[in-house]
Amino acid sequence: MAELIQPVKGMNDVLADQAPWWDRLEAVAHELFASYGYRRVRLPVLERTELFSRSIGELTDIVSKEMFTFDDHGDSLTLRPEGTAGLVRAALCNGLLHNQQQKLWLSGPMFRREKPQKGRYRQFHQMSVEALGFPDAEIDAELIALSARLWRELGLKSTKLELNTIGTAESRQKYKQVLVEHFSRHRELLDDDSLRRLDRNPLRILDSKNPQLRELIDAAPLLSDYLDAESRAHFERVRALLGDVGVGYVLNPRLVRGLDYYSRTVFEWVTDRLGAQSAICSGGRYDGLVAQLGGHDTPAVGWALGLERIVELMQAEGIGADEAPLDAQLVAVGEAERRFGFKLVEQLRERLPGVRVSVGTPSAGFKAQLRHADKNGARFALILGESELAAGKVSVKPLREDRPQQLMTVEECAELLRQTRAPA
């Protein structure tokens, strides 16, 4: 026997018993995004490395440690670690931002060379919703309200919104100088990553996961004390709009986000049901990113959620995602009966679009086929023997109710399945 080929470290198989939760999340999200006027784009997973080093930031953990990058005949290429930079690149390259506003969303796999652990994989899946060309606070609030509505429609109860503003690049520059002074007075307490960030981007120190730095970070000055007036007014309007529609939040003055392209409004949805990995959705404004990637100054805002994290949370909260049952399964022994049965199930599919019917295991015996239909959860067994074949009909045996089987035409069988089928 040949040796099994094992999966790549950090890659995860989503099997059929888990897929219904994914299907439910995606179906609810897709319909909701459309109702808010967001249109889907599908983008490549492979981009030029420069796209991410220029957008995410050279000093971020993502760019410095976690990207899957390789050389392709002199071109440095990277499997995308997140979706926003690629979406902006696509919008610029396809002329979507010439005096236009765009409301777009995308979904697909992302890749980071992180330490695999529960809920975190090296290939993971994100949905992101992005609005480009909208400067006003209303779009920030709309996107946050959209995410809040998504949790409600999924039935999630444990989510909490953390909200902050990090101002403009100019106000952050003033704040960075104050941070450098604060952390420089305690250089001996900083780890290697923080020392590396100190002179180039001290805001990243606030993102440190090192528990030994928690007290020092908590003692740092607050960015809110250095905000420009326009950013402060923008943030107050976002807060007022969220209050108007009943979206609760907690102000978190230490929330800065892990990507360098953010400005002004930033937010995270967190939960206490998933252990230390509490963030399930993150986003904010990135007004400078389009210009940073070669376009004109363009206001923009968006968020991304991790599908694996949301599915895990749905299961942790006991939210079901039951598949609709199999409507019927064929039970036929004999070559002629099997051929007639194959034609029969195709006729049922033609007459009743969406019907869930299976040909089962035609090579097995009659009793084994019947047991298999029952095990598969089929509501009816479609039995074909010599007498049914001679009559050109099928015996329909209920498997979930105590009722006698009936001999039916294809039309009668289709009508029975239509009347009794479960909703999709």
* Residues 3, 306: Cα–Cα separation, whole Å: 34
Question: Would residue 267 count as lying in a domain?
Answer: yes
Question: Would residue 173 count as lying in a domain?
Answer: no
Give the residue from 279, 315, 269, 276 showing the smallest Cα distance to 14: 315
> Based on the domain organization, do 82 and 48 belong to the same domain?
yes
Last residue of a domain, one of 316, 344, 363: 316
> Based on the domain organization, do 130 and 268 belong to the same domain?
yes
Amino acid at 243: G
The sign of the dihedral angle between the CA atoms of 287, 302, 90, 53 is positive
> Based on the domain organization, do 305 and 404 belong to the same domain?
no
CATH number of the domain where residue 410 is located: 3.40.50.800
Amino acid at 335: E
- DSSP string over 329-365: EEEE-SHHHHHHHHHHHHHHHHHSTT--EE---TTS-
> Based on the domain organization, do 378 and 253 belong to the same domain?
no
Segment 373-388, tens digit of pLDDT: 999 999 999 999 999 9
Residue that the structure tokens 């950090």 belong to: 10
Question: Would residue 9 count as lying in a domain?
Answer: no
> Based on the domain organization, do 238 and 381 belong to the same domain?
no
Question: Would residue 160 count as lying in a domain?
Answer: yes
Last residue of a domain, one of 282, 316, 350: 316
> Based on the domain organization, do 164 and 275 belong to the same domain?
yes
Question: Would residue 394 count as lying in a domain?
Answer: yes
* Residues 60, 66: Cα–Cα separation, whole Å: 9
Question: Would residue 59 count as lying in a domain?
Answer: yes
Domains of the chain: total: 2
CA distances from 376 to 158, 320, 322, 328 (A): 34, 19, 14, 10
Amino acid at 193: D
> Based on the domain organization, do 59 and 135 belong to the same domain?
yes
Which residues on adjacent β-strands are paired with residue 165? 265
Contacts of 394 (CB under 8 A, 6+ apart): 341, 344, 382, 383, 384, 388, 407, 408, 410, 413
Q: Which domain holds residue 367?
A: 328-420
The pLDDT value recorded for residue 203 is 82
> Based on the domain organization, do 155 and 260 belong to the same domain?
yes
Which residues on adjacent β-strands are paired with residue 48? 77
Question: Would residue 123 count as lying in a domain?
Answer: yes
Last residue of a domain, one of 316, 349, 377: 316
Segment 207-243, tens digit of pLDDT: 777 888 889 988 998 888 889 999 999 999 999 999 9
> Based on the domain organization, do 256 and 279 belong to the same domain?
yes
> Based on the domain organization, do 268 and 401 belong to the same domain?
no
* Residues 19, 307: Cα–Cα separation, whole Å: 11
> Based on the domain organization, do 270 and 392 belong to the same domain?
no
Contact of 340 with 369, CB cutoff 8 Å: no
CATH number of the domain where residue 82 is located: 3.30.930.10
CA distances from 381 to 336, 372, 411 (A): 18, 10, 16
Mind listing the pLDDT tens digit of every residue in the chain (424 residues)? 899 999 999 999 999 999 999 999 999 999 999 999 999 999 999 999 999 999 988 767 788 889 999 999 999 999 999 999 999 999 999 999 988 999 999 999 999 998 887 778 999 999 999 999 999 999 999 999 999 999 999 999 999 999 999 998 888 888 888 888 999 998 888 888 888 888 777 887 887 778 888 899 889 988 888 899 999 999 999 999 999 999 999 999 888 876 678 899 999 999 999 987 789 999 999 999 999 999 999 999 999 999 999 999 999 999 988 778 899 999 998 899 999 999 999 999 999 999 999 998 878 899 999 999 999 999 999 999 999 999 999 999 999 998 999 999 999 999 999 998 766 5
> Based on the domain organization, do 102 and 134 belong to the same domain?
yes
The whole-model pTM stands at: 0.89
Question: Would residue 196 count as lying in a domain?
Answer: no
